[in-house]
């Protein structure tokens, strides 16, 4: 009888071990934007590559449009193990590190190529490790593009923004940026922006062409100023606990697929910005306002003092290095 019990126990253990090995690792990838955006496309490409190469071993399930977690909750959820990957905008890490505030400084990068040069530099790559003490691992940067200003009235010079309410991401730098032009910034989740604009609870917001297009902000904002005043990029992150718990070979295969998906996303970001801008113009729902060099200079003069306000938190040397990437 004892022998039989031992045999049954051994069999159960073997079966248990076999089924534990057989169960694929699930990566829930949560994001807040539409699928037809650089981030949405990148996440889908990652899921596709993993399905092709690691079938049965790893499964990536993508949850777009804040279906699983909104942008202000996803990092907490990641630390609790409820989601394994996300790519929040660089503006949404303030609670975890001050250095990434760099990317929010207005008029720091002249275009996305300058952003790319900085992110690939030693300084930029080092910033991927800035979340380590908080239990998060930066796996790479992903581009969306330069931000534009949309509003219910035309914005040509900083005085036009005075007294107006703008939705911002949860970033003190962005708050200071709008306060610098006497506007009223309100920190709100991305999933609420359309309704806030539609109901006129706010007057405007800042975002990229692909977000303004895919989330239909242009249908409820009659004017979009092509300001290119800041960048909206992402960091793809995971938790140290999840990442460190993976078998080393599997981890490097997942990372290879992710790097390829990021390169794909970065490759389409600029084209997407151009085509979505054109689609907005063609819709005739919103007027795209081009500002003159003189008008732009007024925005720069008004907003650039924000750099000095945050230089200590971010690091003056880092700001200099980022500025140098414009050359």
Binding site for ligand LMR (CB under 6 A): 32-33, 71, 89, 144, 169, 190, 207, 211, 232
**Residues forming beta bridges with residue 238, ordered by sequence position:** 85, 137
Q: By C-beta, is 141 or 157 nearer to ligand LMR?
A: 141
Q: By C-beta, is 83 or 169 nearer to ligand LMR?
A: 169
DSSP 15-27: HHHHHHHHSPEEE
Least separation in angstroms between CB 145 and ligand LMR = 10
Q: By C-beta, is 269 or 303 nearer to ligand LMR?
A: 269
CA dihedral of residues 251, 253, 259, 262 (deg, nearest 10): -90
Structure tokens at 19: 């089924």
Q: How far is CA 36 from each of CA 16, 45, 195, 210, 221, rounded to the nearest angstrom? A: 41, 12, 20, 8, 20
- Residue 253 contacts residue 191 (beta carbons within 8 Å): no
Least separation in angstroms between CB 169 and ligand LMR = 5
Q: By C-beta, is 224 or 246 nearer to ligand LMR?
A: 224
Q: By C-beta, is 190 or 307 nearer to ligand LMR?
A: 190
Q: By C-beta, is 97 or 253 nearer to ligand LMR?
A: 97
Pairing mode, strands 25-30 and 58-63? parallel
Q: By C-beta, is 157 or 230 nearer to ligand LMR?
A: 230
Q: What is the dihedral sign for C-alpha 277, 282, 284, 285? A: negative
Least separation in angstroms between CB 193 and ligand LMR = 7
Q: By C-beta, is 108 or 196 nearer to ligand LMR?
A: 196
CA 132 to CA 215: how far, in whole Å? Answer: 33
CA 206 to CA 149: how far, in whole Å? Answer: 5
- Residue 306 contacts residue 176 (beta carbons within 8 Å): yes
CA 190 to CA 175: how far, in whole Å? Answer: 16
Least separation in angstroms between CB 28 and ligand LMR = 17
Number of helices (H), then strands (E), in the chain: 13, 11
- Residue 7 contacts residue 188 (beta carbons within 8 Å): no
Least separation in angstroms between CB 211 and ligand LMR = 5
The secondary structure element, H or E, covering residue 237 is strand 231-239
Least separation in angstroms between CB 153 and ligand LMR = 21
Least separation in angstroms between CB 297 and ligand LMR = 26
Least separation in angstroms between CB 19 and ligand LMR = 37
Q: Other C-beta atoms within 10 Å of 198: how many?
A: 13
What secondary structure letter does DSSP report for 106? Answer: T
């Amino acid at each position: 009888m004892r022998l039989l019990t031992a045999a049954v126990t051994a069999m159960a253990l073997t079966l248990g071990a076999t089924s534990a090995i057989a169960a694929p690792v699930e990566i829930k990838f949560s994001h807040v934007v539409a699928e037809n955006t650089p981030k949405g496309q990148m996440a889908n490409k990652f899921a596709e590559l993993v399905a092709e190469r690691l079938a049965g071993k790893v499964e990536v399930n993508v949850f777009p449009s804040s279906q699983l977690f909104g942008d202000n909750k996803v990092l907490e959820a990641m630390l609790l193990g409820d989601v394994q990957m996300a790519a929040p905008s660089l503006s949404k890490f303030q609670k975890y590190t001050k250095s990434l505030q760099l990317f929010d400084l207005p008029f720091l990068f002249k275009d996305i190529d300058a952003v790319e040069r900085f992110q690939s530099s030693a300084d930029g790559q080092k910033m991927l490790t800035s979340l380590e003490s908080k239990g998060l691992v930066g796996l790479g940067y992903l581009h969306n593009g330069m931000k534009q200003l949309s509003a219910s009235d035309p914005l040509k010079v900083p005085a036009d923004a005075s007294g107006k309410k703008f939705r911002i991401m949860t970033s003190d730098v962005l708050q200071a940026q709008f306060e610098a032009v006497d506007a009223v910034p309100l920190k709100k989740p991305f999933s609420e922006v359309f309704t806030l604009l539609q109901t006129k609870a706010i007057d405007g917001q800042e975002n990229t062409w692909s977000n303004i297009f895919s989330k239909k902000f242009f249908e409820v904002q009659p004017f979009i100023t092509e300001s290119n005043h800041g960048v909206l990029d992402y960091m793809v992150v995971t938790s140290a606990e999840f990442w460190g718990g993976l078998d080393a070979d599997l981890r490097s295969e997942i990372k290879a697929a992710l790097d390829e998906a990021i390169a794909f996303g970065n490759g389409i970001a600029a084209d997407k910005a151009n085509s979505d801008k054109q689609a907005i113009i063609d819709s005739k729902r919103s007027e795209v306002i081009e500002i003159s060099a003189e008008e732009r200079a007024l925005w720069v003069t008004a907003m650039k003092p924000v750099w000095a306000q945050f230089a200590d938190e971010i690091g003056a040397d880092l700001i200099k290095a980022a500025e140098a990437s414009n050359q």
